[in-house]
Amino acid sequence: MPYTYHTDEDRKAMLAALGAKSEDELFDVIPEKFHLHTLLPIEKGKTEPETQRAMGAISRQNRPASHLLSFMGGGIYEHTVPSVVNNLAGRPEFATAYTPYQPEASQGTLQVIFEFQTHISRLTRLPVANASMYDGATALAEACLMAAKITRRDVVLVPHALNPRYLKVIKSYVTGQKIELRTLPVSPTGDIDETSLRRELNDRVAAVVVQTPNYFGALEQPWLYEKEIHAAGALLVASVDPVSLSILRPPGAYGADIAVGEGQPLGNPIGFGGPLVGFMACKQDYIRQMPGRIVSATRDVDGRQAFVLTLQTREQHIRREKATSNICTNQGLLATRATIYMSLLGEHGFRELGRVCHERARKLAAAITACEGYTLKYSAPFFREFVIACPTDAATVIDAARKEGILAGIPLSRYFGAGARNLLLVAVTEKNQDEDADKLCAVLKRASPVKVG
């Protein structure tokens, strides 16, 4: 079998050292009736070339967005991944290590996490960040649990325009804690309806979740109601697109207590939606309520600068049933990629990224709305994603585009019911070129119903 070394001689010598007659004997402790005496009904092993051929053939049964012209977002964005990121993060020194329990032999991983925490802290303008969560959805769910624990309250207000997949995950996470979710409707311009928010605020509300840009791409204005949220004793939890923070006001600058988001766009492939990487940052006061691993700077006995896992008494392996979360394995390698990505782009490249994304989105929106019958659904400002109201079913437009190798976007009816059937969520990244807009518009025009009279 592959990946083992033993010769028959080795096996014999090892068994002899144990005083065992056979390897089977080592399994005698399993009751006889449970022994499998035949091989499992799985095919025999393949060689590496056979495996590569077989998996290559399966991979070609997909029609990946990366080979098409794609305007798909919805929380997952296909950005250029710099060669350096693939090269460095693929190194076995990072990939084949594990949680840095022995810090003296894990300084590489520990410092990368420390730099990740610093990058996230600066992007969000909050002083504390952790080493990663599973994805943007679970990061938000954990933030809701954290807020409920901090405030000892049991209601969380979530916007209607929240990523619907995040909402499903939050529901799974909070029901065990008997936390009630209440929905804040969307205003005609596409952001949170402020009147409803003010009406729902009371002394049971642990947190108000604001996602910006929201699922419809619209930017929220949390600074308009931040003071009222805090006056009501609730926390402001911001769910943000990290790329948008290149140009947009960061959560720490409008009083958010906890900021979370999806780190996939930071140098990670779209990869059919996984693995992803959630991030979480918060105010200093809440560091001991935070879930997940946290790395601190420290010194060694000789005074050398070093890094170490800290506040482990929050975690499951120490605190068990009283832990802040059950998370153990996280998304370290994706956080490593994000760290290298942000380091490489740096102050200048990251701002450039945000500007290019927004500029392309702005031009695309202008081009689409110039097509007869197509309008922007919402008037709130957007960053790189927006909703188009089509003159026909969005599904019709999407099918027509797909035939020409274009992924036109996400039909909102997928999540928001038949009432949203003409709505199409369109996203761009720096990978989309200006001329791509023409190709999409050509399809939109053809998909538009012919006017009579």
Tell me if 211 contacts other proteins by CB under 8 A.
no
CB contact set of 196 (below 8 Å; sequence gap of 6+): 184, 185
Q: Please report, in angstroms and rounded to a whole number, the separation of the first and last CA atoms in the chain.
A: 74
**Residue 55 touches other proteins, criterion: CB under 8 A:** yes
* DSSP secondary structure letters along 135-175: -HHHHHHHHHHHHHHHHT--EEEEETTS-HHHHHHHHHHHG
Interface of this chain with other proteins, residues 71 to 90, rule: CB under 8 A? 72, 74-76, 78, 80, 82, 84, 87-88, 90
Binding residue (CB under 8 A) for other proteins from 21, 69, 96, 214 = 96
Identify the residue among 197, 238, 340, 440 touching other proteins (CB under 8 A). Answer: 340
| Binder among 143, 147, 161, 333 for other proteins (CB under 8 A) | 333
**Is the bond preceding residue 103 a cis peptide, omega within 30 degrees?**
no
Cβ 443 vs Cβ 408: under 8 Å:
yes
DSSP state of 252: G
Q: Which one of residues 69, 137, 238, 406 is an interface residue with other proteins (CB under 8 A)? A: 137
Nearer to other proteins, 99 or 233 (CB): 99
The mark string for 226-265 relative to other proteins (x by CB under 8 A, - otherwise) is: -------------------xxxxxx--x--------x---
3-state DSSP assignment of residue 205: strand
CB of 368 to other proteins, least distance (A): 15
Dist CA 41 CA 43 (whole Å): 7
Q: How far is the CB of 346 from other proteins (least distance, A)?
A: 5
Q: Does 328 bind other proteins (CB under 8 A)?
A: yes
Query: Which residues, including other chains, have CB under 8 Å from residue 168's CB and lie 6 or more apart?
Result: 137
Residue 331 neighbours by CB under 8 Å, 6+ apart = 132, 133, 134, 135, 263, 275, 276, 277, 278
Among 134, 215, 225, 374, interactor with other proteins by CB under 8 A: 134
Looking at residues 158 to 197 of the shown chain, list those that interact with other proteins (rule: CB under 8 A): 163, 165-166, 168-169, 171-173, 175-178
Closer CB to other proteins, 201 or 276, in the complex: 276
- Output the six-digit token pair for 349: 């490249």
Choose which of 300, 372, 434, 438 interacts with other proteins (CB under 8 A). Answer: 300
The correct pick among 117, 151, 187, 196 for binding other proteins (CB under 8 A) is 117
